[in-house]
Amino acid sequence: MAAEKKLRVTQVKSQIGRKYDQEQTLRSMGLGRIGKTKDLPDNESVRGMIFKVKHLVEVEEL
């Protein structure tokens, strides 16, 4: 069985002053502070969340 692909998502900008749904998207990904990093599975729902806040995060594939 192949290893599941992962994405490393790092918050690089603040959510202060952003729309409420963007703040909640960051929270649902486990972020909330600049510099915080999470390894998330590479699937459609996570990619959709990343697309919504792409201006606030950096993404790298693992």
Domain ranges of the chain: 6-61
How far apart CA 43 and CA 20 sit, in angstroms, is 24
Q: Which residue(s) pair with 8 in the sheet?
A: 39, 60
The CATH homologous superfamily for domain 6-61 is Ribosomal protein L30/L7 (3.30.1390.20)
Q: What is the pLDDT of residues 3-49, one digit of tens each?
A: 789 999 999 999 999 999 999 999 999 999 999 999 999 999 999 99
Count of Cβ atoms closer than 10 Å to residue 47 Cβ: 14
Structural contact between residues 41 and 9, judged by C-beta atoms closer than 8 angstroms = no
Is the pLDDT reported for residue 1 higher than 70? no
61, 10 Cβ separation under 8 angstroms = no
- The SS3 of residue 47 is helix
